[in-house]
């Protein structure tokens, strides 16, 4: 993977818009994805799955091609197991509220979930009387497997867990988790929003019942997510929305829904986004997910090495860069996370995230008030990291405690 050549594929990189280290929130997009989006609007801006004219047929073919690309990318056979939605949040909500859980059913998560895999279960607990158990993570954010095994004992219905943390970067042993949960009779939901962009994900090997991801974190368009579900699970899952596209036949007093995936895709879809999704998958496939993961690791090692002497720096998560995936969360004594982020932007155009990162349970459980977070992706290089490290050192020396 030629990083210097690859960077030219991204308009903001070519135009020197600063150092973008916020890809855990949303990635940049290469020319091919932008062109695919524009191609839809310029060449075939029509409806899929409805009209039989030439433009409508082309849209339907583009949707089918994107599902086939997803199946190939994630190591599965059936393209109809992939549902298009707005983001991983909508995918997680679709599963949580579509499983028809009832009072007394137990859901197991970790104590460090993103709000998208935390709040829906809170709402279900309030509305339906479901129960919640939390498997513990260590101070650095890695899963305590003994705690997890204890949590699933005793009639667990659902295990819903992050694949990789958007705060610590810790990667959960999801294949082992799936096996333990299935042995206990539980369905397995995985929040793959932070993992799918940064490592090769083979869903046949991991064996979840559902896997949720956001394309906007993996070079795809904003407002595009994907829900994967095993065919037998999608067949019984209730949709979150109903209407056009989900209906096989409706009368005045009855409705027969279409099969999955269409029964989950109510109304006209973001066809431009679906075209961009296919282009993003093609781009990542050509780059090679093994190369993406290797580049992340290389940059994390450099980031840890170059900042270890920064005054007052405290890492959130593992000190070992090989356990951090692609995120570097930290605090500087005397500076709030937002102050740190603003200073880095002002010093050298370094763009990072600050706050609670929508992972409130993690920060509450670890008694941390938030963090600054630099996150890398395949288009970042050693110079980006050096500029970040230099700006951080200046901020800490000038304004830190």
In this structure, are residues 64 and 277 in contact, taking their beta carbons and an 8 Å threshold? no
Of 189, 241, 226, the C-alpha closest to 70 is 226
Which residues, at least 6 apart from 396, have a Cβ–Cβ distance to it below 8 Å? 310, 311, 312, 313, 332, 335
Whether residue 261 is preceded by a cis peptide bond, meaning omega within 30 degrees of 0, is: yes
Q: How far apart are CA 161 and CA 159, in angstroms?
A: 6
Residues facing 212 on adjacent strands: 191, 227
How is residue 116 annotated by DSSP? G
Residue 326 backbone dihedrals phi, psi, to 5 degrees: -125, 10
Instruction: Specify the length of the chain in residues.
Output: 401
Does the annotation count 358 as an active-site position?
yes
DSSP-assigned beta bridge partners for residue 22: 375
158: left (phi over 0), alpha (psi -120 to 50) or beta: beta
CA 41 to the chain's CA centroid: 27
> How many C-beta neighbours within 10 Å does residue 322 have?
11
DSSP 8-state code for residue 8: T
Catalytic residue among 25, 47, 212, 358: 358
Nearest to 311 by CA among 204, 392, 387, 379: 392
User: What is residue 237's DSSP assignment?
Assistant: P
Residue tagged 């490592």 (tokens): 199
What is the rounded distance in angstroms from the CA atom of residue 188 to the CA atom of residue 350? 38
Cα–Cα distance measured from residue 230 to residue 187, given in angstroms and rounded to the nearest whole number? 11
Residue whose C-alpha is closest to residue 142's, from 333, 367, 366 = 366
User: Which residue blocks in 18-87 are alpha helix, DSSP H?
Assistant: 31-43, 54-73
CA distance 207 to 216: 24
In angstroms, rounded to a whole number, what is the distance separating the alpha carbons of residues 188 and 51? 37
Q: Catalytic residue positions?
A: 358
């Amino acid at each position: 993977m030629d990083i210097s050549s690859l960077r030219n594929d991204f308009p903001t990189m070519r135009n020197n818009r600063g150092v973008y280290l916020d890809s855990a929130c949303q990635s940049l997009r290469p020319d091919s994805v932008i062109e695919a989006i524009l191609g839809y609007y310029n060449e075939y801006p029509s409806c899929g799955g409805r009209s039989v004219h030439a433009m409508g047929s082309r849209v339907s073919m583009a949707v089918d091609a994107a599902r086939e690309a997803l199946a190939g990318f994630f190591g599965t056979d059936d393209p109809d197991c992939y549902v298009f939605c707005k983001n991983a949040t909508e995918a997680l909500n679709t599963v949580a509220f579509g499983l028809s859980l009832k009072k007394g059913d137990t859901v197991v998560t970790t104590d460090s979930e993103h709000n998208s895999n935390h709040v829906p279960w809170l709402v279900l607990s309030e509305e339906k009387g479901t129960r919640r158990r939390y498997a513990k993570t260590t101070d650095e954010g890695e899963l305590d497997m003994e705690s997890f095994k204890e949590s699933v004992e005793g009639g667990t219905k659902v295990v819903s867990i992050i694949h990789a943390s958007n705060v610590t970067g810790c990667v959960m042993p999801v294949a082992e988790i799936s096996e333990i949960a299935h042995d206990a009779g539980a369905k397995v939901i995985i929040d793959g929003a932070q993992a799918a962009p940064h490592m090769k994900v083979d869903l046949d090997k991991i064996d979840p019942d559902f896997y949720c991801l956001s394309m906007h974190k993996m070079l795809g368009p904003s407002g595009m997510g994907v829900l994967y579900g095993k065919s037998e699970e999608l067949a019984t899952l209730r949709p979150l929305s109903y209407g056009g596209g989900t209906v096989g036949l409706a009368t005045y007093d009855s409705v027969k829904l279409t099969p999955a995936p269409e029964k989950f895709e109510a109304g006209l879809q973001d066809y431009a986004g679906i075209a961009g999704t296919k282009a993003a998958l093609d781009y990542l496939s050509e780059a090679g997910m093994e190369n993406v993961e290797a580049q992340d690791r290389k940059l994390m090692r450099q980031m840890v090495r170059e900042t270890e002497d920064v005054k007052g720096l405290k890492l959130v998560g593992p000190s070992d860069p090989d356990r951090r995936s692609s995120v570097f969360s930290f605090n500087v004594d005397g500076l709030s996370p937002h102050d740190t982020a603003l200073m880095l932007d002002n010093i050298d155009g370094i763009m990072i995230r600050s706050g609670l990162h929508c992972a409130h349970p993690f920060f509450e459980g670890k008694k941390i008030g938030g963090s600054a977070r630099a996150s890398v992706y395949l288009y970042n290089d050693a110079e980006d990291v050096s500029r970040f490290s230099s700006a951080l050192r200046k901020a800490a020396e000038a304004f830190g405690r």
